[in-house]
Structure 1
Amino acid sequence: MTAGLERGSTRVAGFQDPEMDHQLMRQLGAVRYGGAAVGMCLAVARQIQDADVQGWVDAFAASAKRQMADADRRERKGHGISARDQYLMASNSFRAAEYYLPIDTPLHQEYGLNSRAAFLHAMRCGGWHCQELWFSQDGLRLPAYYMRAPGSAGDRVLMIVSGYDGTLEETWLSHGRAAQERGYDLLLFTGPGQMDVWRFNPVSHFRPDYETIGRQAMDYVLALPGVDPQRVALMGISFGGYFALRIAAFEPRLQAVILNSPIVDLHAYMTAFIGLDPADLPPEDDFGVADLPHIPDHVMTAQQRLMSRNLILRFGQPGFAQTYRRIRDFSLADADIARIACPTLALVGEGEGAEPLRQWQAFQKGVGGQGAAWCFTAAEGADAHCQVGNLAYSAAVSLDWLDETLEQKAVD
């Protein structure tokens, strides 16, 4: 408490660390669709030292628990709308805590399942239709949600797949809710290696052949009563830009695809992100999960050790160099891209760097069907990865295009 008169004690300040600052912007961006509150995000950020991953986990987990307890109280008293809003924020706060935890630890699973439980509570309190689904591959349980839009005719479905660290619940907050506001039913789905899948399976590794999961998702949607086969579309977010490309290349039943952004070569994308190619490391310089605790801080920060550990585990390789060699398999040949015949929209942010922009341009040149493209700018507050700073504008661009594209297909 201050002795004098002030407007308030909260200050607008982020982090010097680029990755942690992006994660804070990711939380702030979720405000638009109910996943956070500006004051809450900034208050939590004040408790965290720059690049302190454990401090991040502790602060966001504490916030999530407070929000969850508050939502429970409001639900018991019959305040459904207030409970819904608090559950949505609790879900996203648990997801934020989950982000900076080792992928194979009980606490990671606990916070992930808490995020899911809070989300499902919000759906119930809000009176929204949300059906839990399960696909499968090689013995893995792959969670998904089918969600009906209020007042929907049931004929238009948007399938959405997120990427490396997105979750089903965050996907709804950042993209799905906007689609439902426009009358789209949703199928949110996941595949091996993704965050949601680790919550229900002890081990899960990314696979390049994501079209096998896409086929199951497509079969499910087309079997729904009332669905118009000419009004089924797919959106891929972040690393999901690669997944969606794989699906589109091998799934001729799709009618439109939104790629945010198109990743045609994951290895080139990820090596550009860190500025070197670990696949070229000699065997004596490679390291595995067991070596990471022994790497000193002046060589690798705690944040870098955590992210390297999760990357190795999620690609299922013994070492860091082997992981990047495996990532070389996650690419599409020119012939695969040319095979995509349905209309596509390729999105990118001008602040994402040279390699994402290069792949965005390469996709436009190579795609077989009619292609549209959009580059978001800093002036729009949307130049960051997946437009986390301006989700509503991202939705306007992508979903207006989808409306017009499906309407034109109906006319044709």
Structure 2
Amino acid sequence: MNPYDNPLARRRGFMAAAAAGLALPLLAPPARAATAAPTGTERGATRVAGFADAEMDFQLMRQLGAARYGGASVGECFALAQRIQNGQPASWVNEFAAAAVRQEEDAQARARRGHALSARDQYLVACNNYRAAEYYCGVLDPRHAALGLKSRECFLAAMLRTPELACEEAAMPFGDKLLPAYYFRAPQAGRRQGKTLIIISGYDGTLEETWLAYGRAALERGYHLLLVTGPGQMDTLRWYPGLAFVPEYEVIARAALDFLLARRGTDPRRVALMGISYGGYFATRMAAHEPRIRALIANSPIVDLHAYMVSFVGFDAAQWPDAEDIRLADLDHIPDTAIPPQQREMMRSLMVRMGRDSFKQAYQRLRDFRVSDADLRNIRCPSLALVGSGEGQEPQAQCTRFLNTVAGPVAHHLFTAEEGADGHCQTGNLAYSAAVSMDWLDEVL
């Protein structure tokens, strides 16, 4: 994802220009007019149209992709897009939150009338729409946690109406805190020991979205499933808004493995780990320090988070002069003409979640999120590296370093535009991504 793709922010001295009151052009084009009601007969008023803003368009694709496993309706997504102002986070939050409320109320009404399957499906869509609203809601806005908790509530309501899936709310210890997790036993497992998949998402993924993207596919293939999250991640922020990311995600790995291996039904020889987005770093770090992981899927394998982020923005904020740094306290005093609202909220999120008071400090902290060559050589289990051809040179270069350095047997898949899967985490074709990753895992385990 490219949360800071803002040419204005690349201009040296743009803060001074803003302070002097100089007018800088807006990045976002004018909002689109609402769709007029048709005057004649036609197929329908909803149009297949995205956003001029690249990040918002990616988020729309992310939502559309979730339709494959029940997390969205294509028609509703495009209807929402017609009402959202291009590049304006507040508009996105309001529309997706309103849709989620409507869908949740519909689910509740169907449940009261005894329609459990219909209620389940509507709860899942509401869950994912609350998540979409949570994504663009400011990380310090009280609504951020409230939207996330509503997403969780709707997910659990859907799971209650899916009796073949035993969804267990779990928690992983982290210091004096308990971090949220979900555990599922494979429906057809019975009493025999079985293969287990741990999945960890990244910067802005959630446990519920991870279930929709890959968890459901894993359960269909007979895997026990553990979804985990760590400090700084979206689910954790719902309870611990001040808990920042840490590089040492092997702490989460140890807790997850201790939890799984204490459970009846876990085959310790067949425990795999999958990391998605930033989770590609988390999972790689976890596998480098936890030999109980017997297979690794990195989507994509991030070995240097600082270089990865620098490649997005085209500059390294860690090297800014102090006079050009942007502090957390400054953000709300910078006019939209200098930093548009979307970029401002992304910058705020990075500072808060890295536990730093300025943008420069946040990028300096990112330097700690690296997997050394020595760590990579510690990965001796079979590994699968996934990356999209549309993600750019840096993700592919880091993938190459991973392939050339890990000690164990390693496989690789490059997703393409022809497959509709060239984007980050293959949001446009989740079923094909699941086929590639799960089929490889079946063969390895």
What secondary structure sits across from 1:230 in the alignment?
A: strand
Cross-structure match for 1:147: 184
Deviations 1:353-405 (A, max 9, x none): 11001001110000110000000000000000000000000000000000000
Question: 1: distance between equivalents of 2:377 and 2:58?
Answer: 34
Cross-structure match for 1:363: 402
Cross-structure match for 1:410: none
Cross-structure match for 1:134: 171
Q: Percent identity?
A: 58
Contact 1:140–1:192 under 8 Å retained in 2: no
What secondary structure sits across from 1:83 in the alignment?
A: helix
Cross-structure match for 2:300: 261
What secondary structure sits across from 1:287 in the alignment?
A: coil
Q: Does 2:23 match 1:23? A: no
Map 1:306-325 onto structure 2 (within 5 A).
306-325=345-364
In the TM superposition, residue 200 of structure 1 has moved relative to its aligned partner by 1.0
Q: Which runs of 4+ in 1 moved over 3 A?
A: none
In the TM superposition, residue 294 of structure 1 has moved relative to its aligned partner by 1.6
Map 1:6-155 onto structure 2 (within 5 A).
6-127=42-163, 128-153=165-190, 154-155=193-194
Residue type matched to 1:116 in 2?
A: R
Question: 1: distance between equivalents of 2:272 and 2:359?
Answer: 36
Residue type matched to 1:99 in 2?
A: Y
TM (normalized to structure 1)? 0.97
Cross-structure match for 1:156: 195
Contact 1:193–1:314 under 8 Å retained in 2: yes
In the TM superposition, residue 297 of structure 1 has moved relative to its aligned partner by 2.1
Question: 2: distance between equivalents of 1:307 and 1:295?
Answer: 14
Deviations 1:97-154 (A, max 9, x none): 0001121322001100000000000000111211001112233331000012221245
Question: 1: distance between equivalents of 2:120 and 2:162?
Answer: 6
Cross-structure match for 1:201: 240
Deviates more, 1:293-302 or 1:340-349: 293-302
Question: 1: distance between equivalents of 2:337 and 2:240?
Answer: 35
Point out where structure 2 has 5 or more consecutive residues left out of the alignment. Answer: 1-36
Map 1:260-279 onto structure 2 (within 5 A).
260-279=299-318
Residue type matched to 2:155 in 1?
A: F
What secondary structure sits across from 1:351 in the alignment?
A: coil
Map 1:333-344 onto structure 2 (within 5 A).
333-344=372-383
In the TM superposition, residue 15 of structure 1 has moved relative to its aligned partner by 0.2
**May I ask how many residue pairs the two structures share in their alignment?**
406
Q: Please provide the CA RMSD for this pair.
A: 0.9
In the TM superposition, residue 53 of structure 1 has moved relative to its aligned partner by 0.6
Cross-structure match for 1:379: 418
Question: 2: distance between equivalents of 1:13 and 1:27?
Answer: 14
Larger RCO: 1 or 2 (CA < 8 Å, sep 6+): 2
Contact 1:141–1:201 under 8 Å retained in 2: no
Residue type matched to 2:182 in 1?
A: Y
Contact 2:139–2:345 under 8 Å retained in 1: no
Residue type matched to 1:102 in 2?
A: G
Cross-structure match for 1:3: 39
Question: 2: distance between equivalents of 1:255 and 1:136?
Answer: 22
Question: 2: distance between equivalents of 1:291 and 1:138?
Answer: 32
Residue type matched to 1:331 in 2?
A: R
Question: 2: distance between equivalents of 1:70 and 1:86?
Answer: 7
Cross-structure match for 1:409: none
In the TM superposition, residue 6 of structure 1 has moved relative to its aligned partner by 0.6
TM (normalized to structure 2)? 0.90
In the TM superposition, residue 202 of structure 1 has moved relative to its aligned partner by 3.5
Question: 2: distance between equivalents of 1:328 and 1:355?
Answer: 15
What secondary structure sits across from 1:228 in the alignment?
A: strand
